[in-house]
């Protein structure tokens, strides 16, 4: 039996180990570093199934900052799986990094490129466990700080540099909002611990200043999860960042943002204004994300807008406080997003990342085009895919909570989604491509893609394993209603 | 006497704060910001919060401002001085800050106890450095350790992004 905090310690230690190995073995192939990181993370993932039960929360000290409830453990595993998949994509992406980094040697910078995600992963895991604003702030900054470096990593590419600067400035701005909001909440309630803030608010504490603070915190979290109107950074940063980092941003960073959002909102749902505010944010995010995705011609940009749209569906789940639905949606989102980015990396290294570069892919590589077909179908929400059930659970929760407006907007925007996701499918199967050269796929990527396709189709008909993993925390979440 | 000192330093903070925005020359604004920070530090000292006062001088007036000045040196100063003031931006900016100011005033007015007389400071002086240190290493030990990871990540990031040629 292992204590839950040991998981993060192990991941940080793994990161340090990888950095040291990288520093002392100059000649060896740096991809070995990624392999060590991946196997280490896999070991931690296995260890996460043998956790000792955590003690009840205390009023101060370690367990007032940190919780290992089932929501936290679920998203810790989520972070680990995401990071492993991102490292696999990074191995495929290594040749492009070599071309776009100022390097004295051939493998310059690759070691750091593989080591930074490990620290990001530790930050994501801490975020999943944070129950105190101090802890939330510190762990959020670990994640943000590592993304500053990762987004701008291939800095010889001017588009990447632009993405890095935009992410840095807007993210720093959102951090400012977060700190300012926390100080208002602390000033109004005298607490930074989320549970005790809830107690103070329930006893009729200072509600107006606390709400003001909550709105400011919501700005910062809205930035993290790419909710409208804090989504302006998303398209440019997603397009410019190295593709594995884009996938990491759109899955890992967003998931951790949503866990924090669920935890932060829990005490504030005592106040009715919170729900009204969130309903509007969710509706705007759904409409904006889906409509803006319609005219896109670049696949990375299309996926950026689709990531905004999915944040909208997830926010509907948050408004309805449907923890398991949000958790399931995230698993589906992880699988289909990583799958489409994995295919994108392979195809883009051959031609480019515009949609027209996918023209005739079905002839050049039937395997990749089938993978993309599954990913796009699932993102759009075709039945028998994980994406369909994800949307189904979210809409089910919306009906139960009588959120009619969100339900109607949700259903209409799903129809929009079919149009732009099927644009990619049409390009692959109906359009004629300019070249007939086959697209080579490495063995590791091939296995990963097969596993992702299998997982999407399996979870589309048999969602029980995920729902079971999320079950015990329903009690914790429904307590606020 | 303390009241006089309070008003002096409060005025210093505000006047130089305004000078930051009003100065055309970026270096003059940056130096005004230093003086504004010093006034703020003096206000903290007046409240017996010596640790925060010193930190204010060391971190903000020292480290952050040096960073600002470095960045300003990289800019073309003459282009900045020649730049025309955009009327719309001035009106919009003032409107936003005014709205925020009014909002904060309203929230503070709602705050329970905001109209009460504040109690006088206790005569015994607290050992604030020791207290903060104890708090940091006892109760806040976990976030404190995570900051260690944060600094490591920041160091790696700076090296990766700023080195001319990576090895």
Question: In this predicted model, what pLDDT tens digit does every residue of A332-376 receive, in sequence order?
Answer: 999 999 999 999 999 888 888 888 888 888 888 899 999 999 999
Query: Which pLDDT score, from 0 to 100, does residue A176 have?
Result: 94
Give the separation between CA B42 and CA B60, rounded to whole angstroms: 13
Q: Is A347 inside any structural domain?
A: yes
Closest CA to A421 of A332, A337, A321: A337
Question: Within a domain: residue A434?
Answer: yes
Domain count, chain B: 2
Q: Which of A401, A402, A386 is nearest to A322 (CA)?
A: A401
Going from the C-alpha of A32 to that of each of A24, A29, A39, A353, A441, the distances in angstroms are 13, 6, 11, 28, 19
Residue A450 distance to chain B (closest CA, Å) = 34
Please check the confidence at residue A478 and state whether its pLDDT lies above 60. no
Residues B155 and B167: their CA atoms lie apart, in Å, by 16
Say if A287 falls within a structural domain: yes
Query: Are residues B160 and A104, on separate chains, in Cβ contact within 8 Å?
Result: no
Q: How far is B162 from chain A (nearest CA, A)?
A: 10
Tell whether B100 lies on the interface with A, counting CB pairs under 8 A: no
Asked whether the beta carbons of residue B107 and residue A61 sit closer than 8 angstroms, the reply is no
Q: Which of residues 2-31 of B touch A (CB under 8 A)?
A: none
The reply to whether B151 and B92 lie within a common domain is: no
Exposed, middle or buried by CB within 10 Å (0-12, 13-18, 19+), for A192? buried
The enclosing domain of B90 has a CATH number of: 1.20.120.1200
The minimum CA-CA distance between A152 and chain B, rounded to whole Å, is 7
| Chain A interface with B: residues with Cβ < 8 Å | 12, 19, 26, 60-62, 65-66, 101-105, 108-109, 112, 115-116, 119, 122-123, 126, 132, 134-135, 137-139, 141-142, 145-146, 148-149, 152-153, 155, 164, 188, 206, 208-209, 212
DSSP conformation letters of B35-102: HHHHHHHHHHHHTT-HHHHHHIIIIIIIIIHHHHHHHHHHS-HHHHHHPPP-HHHHHHHHHHHHHHHH
Whether the predicted pLDDT of A475 surpasses 50:
no
Q: How many CB atoms lie within 10 A of CB A34?
A: 23
For residue A217, which of A255, A182, A267, A256 has the smallest C-alpha distance? A182
d(CA A317, CA A394): 5
Instruction: Say if CB A8 and CB A125 are below 8 A apart.
Output: yes
CA distance B21 to B14: 11
pLDDT digits (tens, 9 = 90+) for B5-59: 999 999 999 999 999 888 878 888 888 988 999 999 999 988 888 888 999 899 8
Residue of chain B minimizing CA distance to A136: B143
Judge if B56 and B17 occupy the same domain: yes
User: Are B153 and A146 a contacting pair at CB < 8 A?
Assistant: yes
**Is B84 an 8 Å CB contact of chain A?**
no
- pLDDT tens track for B118-136: 777 677 777 888 888 998 8
As a whole number of angstroms, the distance between CA A72 and CA A94 comes to 32
- By Cβ distance, the residue of B138, B147, B160 closest to A109 is B160
Cα dihedral A54, A55, A57, A63, rounded to 10, equals -70
Q: How much of chain B exceeds pLDDT 90, in percent?
A: 29
B41 and B15, same domain (yes or no): yes
**Chain A nearest-CA residue for B110:** A208
Q: Please name which of A278, A254, A258 lies closest in space to residue A268, comparing C-alpha atoms.
A: A278
CB contact under 8 A, A103 and B142: no
Angle at B74 between CA B72 and CA B77, to 5 degrees: 60
B146 shares its domain with B122 = no
pLDDT at B77: 67
Is residue A481's pLDDT more than 50?
A: no
Q: Is B107 on the interface with A (CB under 8 A)?
A: yes
Contact across the interface for A208 and B112, Cβ inside 8 Å: no
Phi, then psi, of A439 in degrees rounded to 5:
-105, 115
What is the number of domains present in chain A? 1
User: Over pLDDT 90: what percentage of chain A?
Assistant: 60
Query: Are B163 and B115 in a shared domain?
Result: no
Per-residue pLDDT reduced to its tens digit, A305-343: 999 999 999 999 999 888 889 999 999 999 999 999 999
Q: Does any CB of chain A come closer than 8 Å to the CB of residue B156?
A: yes
Residues B144 and B95 in one domain: no
Would you say residue A201 lies in a domain?
Answer: no
**Closest CA in chain B for residue A164:** B161
Is A128 within a domain?
no
Q: Cβ contacts (< 8 Å) between B112 and chain A: which residues?
A: 206
- The predicted pLDDT at position B167 comes to 66
Contact A167, A202 (CB under 8 A): no
Please classify residue B3 by burial: count the beta carbons closer than 10 Å to its beta carbon, then call 0-12 exposed, 13-18 middle and 19+ buried. Answer: exposed
- Testing the interface with A: which of B141, B149, B159 to mutate, by most A Cβ within 10 A? B149
CA atoms within 13 A on the CB side of A76: 30
Q: Kindly provide the b/e burial profile for residues A125-142, where b requires at least 16 CB atoms within 10 angstroms of the residue's own CB.
A: bbbbbbbbbbbbbbbbbb
Do B7 and B69 belong together in one domain?
Answer: yes
- pLDDT at residue A473 above 50? no
Q: Are A142 and B166 an interchain contact pair (Cβ–Cβ within 8 Å)?
A: no
Domain interval for residue B103: 2-126
Closest CA in chain B for residue A125: B146
- Give me A447's structure tokens: 């296995």
Residues B87-102 have a mean pLDDT of: 89
The residue among A149, A164, A215, A241 with the most chain B CBs within 10 A of its CB, best to mutate, is A149
Nearest by CB to residue B150, choosing from A65, A112, A141, is A141
Q: Which residues in chain B are contacts of A108 at CB distance < 8 A?
A: 165-167
pLDDT at B80: 65
CB of A169 within 8 A of CB of A236? no
B89 lies in the same domain as B139: no
Q: How many of the other CB atoms lie within 10 Å of CB of A411?
A: 12
> B65 and B133 share a domain?
no
The reply to whether B8 and B90 lie within a common domain is yes
What the block records as the tokens of A56 is: 């009840």
| Confidence tier at A97 by pLDDT (50, 70, 90) | confident
What is the rounded average pLDDT for all residues in chain A? Answer: 89
Whether A389 has a pLDDT exceeding 70, the answer reads yes
**Cβ <8 Å between B153 and A116:** yes
Which residues is A103 bridged to in the sheet?
Answer: B166
Dist. CA A289–CA A114, nearest whole Å: 31
Do B111 and B138 lie in a common domain? no
CB pairs under 8 A between A and B: 94
Task: Quote the CA–CA distance of A117 and A153 in Å, as a whole number.
Answer: 12
Distant-in-sequence, close-in-space partners of B74: CB < 8 Å, separation ≥ 6: none
With left for phi above 0 and alpha for psi between -120 and 50, is residue A271 left, alpha or beta?
beta
Residue at token pair 């900054």: A141
Distance CA A308, CA A306 (A): 5
Which of the four pLDDT bands, split at 50, 70 and 90, describes residue A477?
very low
Could you give the CA distance from residue A235 to residue A304 in angstroms, rounded to a whole number? 5
What is the extent of the structural domain holding A443?
A: 282-481
In the predicted model, what is the mean pLDDT of chain B? 84
Instruction: Please state the pTM of the whole predicted model.
Output: 0.88
The pLDDT score that the predictor gives to residue B1 is 57
Mean pLDDT of A434-461: 89
Q: Which residue has the tokens 């050992």?
A: B127
Residues B80 and B142 in one domain: no
Residues of B in contact with A60 (CB under 8 A): 139
Q: State whether the Cα torsion A426-A432-A433-A437 is positive or negative.
A: positive
- Tens digit of each residue's pLDDT (9 = 90 or more) over A24-45: 887 788 888 899 999 999 999 9
Alpha-carbon distance A409 to A282, whole Å? 10
pLDDT band at B81 (very low <50, low <70, confident <90, very high): low
3-state secondary structure (DSSP) of residue A205: coil
Determine, for residues A206 and B139 on separate chains, whether the beta-carbon distance falls below 8 Å: no
Q: Which of B143, B152, B158 to mutate to test the interface with A (most CBs of A within 10 A)?
A: B143
* Partners of A2 in the β-ladder: A51
Angle at B112 between CA B110 and CA B116, to 5 degrees: 110
Chain A contacts of B150, Cβ < 8 Å?
A: 138, 141-142, 145
């Amino acid at each position: 039996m292992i204590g839950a905090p040991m998981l993060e310690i192990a991941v940080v230690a793994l990161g340090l180990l990888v950095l040291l190995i990288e520093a002392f073995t100059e000649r060896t192939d740096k991809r070995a570093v990624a392999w060590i990181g991946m196997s280490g993370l896999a070991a931690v993932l296995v260890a996460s199934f043998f956790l000792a039960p955590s003690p009840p929360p205390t009023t101060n000290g370690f367990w007032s900052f940190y919780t290992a409830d089932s929501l936290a453990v679920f998203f810790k595993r989520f972070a680990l799986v995401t990071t492993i998949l991102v490292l696999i994509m990074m191995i495929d992406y290594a040749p492009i990094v070599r071309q776009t980094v100022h390097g004295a040697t051939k493998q310059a910078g690759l070691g750091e490129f593989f080591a930074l995600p490990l620290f990001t992963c530790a930050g994501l895991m801490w975020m999943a466990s944070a129950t105190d604003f101090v802890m939330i702030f510190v762990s959020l900054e670990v994640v943000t700080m590592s993304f500053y470096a990762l987004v701008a990593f291939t800095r010889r590419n001017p588009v990447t540099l632009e993405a890095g600067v935009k992410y840095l400035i807007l993210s720093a701005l959102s951090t400012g909002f977060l700190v300012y909001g926390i100080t208002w909440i602390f000033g109004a309630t005298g607490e930074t611990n989320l549970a005790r803030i809830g107690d103070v608010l329930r006893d009729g504490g200072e509600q107006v200043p606390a709400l003001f603070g909550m709105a400011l915190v919501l700005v910062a979290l809205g930035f993290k999860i790419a909710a409208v109107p804090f989504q302006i950074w998303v398209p440019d940063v997603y397009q410019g960042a190295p593709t594995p980092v884009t996938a990491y941003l759109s899955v890992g960073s967003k998931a951790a943002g949503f866990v924090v959002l669920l935890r932060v909102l829990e005490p504030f749902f005592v106040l009715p204004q919170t729900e009204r505010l969130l309903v509007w944010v969710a509706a705007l995010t759904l409409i904006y994300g889906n409509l803006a995705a319609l005219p896109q011609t670049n696949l990375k940009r299309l996926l950026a807008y689709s990531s905004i749209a999915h944040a909208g569906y997830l926010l509907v789940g948050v408004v309805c406080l449907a923890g398991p639905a949000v958790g399931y949606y995230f698993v589906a989102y992880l699988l289909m997003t990583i799958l489409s980015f994995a295919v994108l990396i392979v195809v883009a290294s051959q031609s480019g990342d515009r949609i027209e570069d996918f023209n005739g892919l079905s002839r050049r590589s039937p395997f990749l085009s089938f993978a993309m077909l599954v990913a796009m179908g699932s993102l759009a929400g075709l039945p028998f895919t994980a994406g369909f059930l994800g949307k189904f659970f979210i809409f089910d929760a919306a009906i139960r909570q009588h959120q009619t407006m969100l339900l109607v907007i949700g259903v209409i925007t799903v129809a929009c989604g079919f149009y732009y996701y099927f644009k990619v499918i049409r390009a692959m199967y109906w359009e004629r491509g300019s070249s007939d050269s086959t697209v080579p796929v490495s063995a590791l990527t091939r296995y990963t893609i097969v596993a992702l396709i299998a997982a999407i189709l399996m979870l589309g008909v048999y969602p029980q394993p995920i729902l079971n993993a999320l079950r015990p925390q329903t009690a914790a979440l429904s307590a606020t209603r | 006497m303390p009241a006089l000192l309070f008003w002096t330093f409060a005025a210093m903070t505000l006047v130089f704060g305004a000078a930051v925005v009003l100065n055309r020359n970026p270096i003059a604004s940056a130096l005004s910001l230093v003086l504004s920070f010093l006034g703020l530090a003096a206000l903290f000292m007046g409240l017996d919060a010596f640790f925060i006062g010193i930190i204010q001088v060391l971190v903000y007036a020292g480290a952050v401002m040096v960073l600002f000045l470095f960045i300003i040196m990289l800019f073309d100063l003459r282009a900045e001085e020649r730049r025309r003031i955009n009327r719309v931006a001035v009106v919009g900016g003032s409107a936003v800050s005014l709205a925020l100011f009014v909002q904060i005033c309203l929230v503070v007015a709602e705050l329970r106890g905001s109209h009460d007389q504040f109690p006088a400071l206790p005569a015994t002086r607290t050992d604030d450095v020791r207290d903060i240190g104890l708090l940091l290493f006892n109760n806040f030990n976990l976030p404190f350790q995570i900051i260690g990871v944060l600094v490591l990540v920041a160091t790696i990031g700076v090296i990766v992004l700023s080195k001319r040629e990576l090895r």
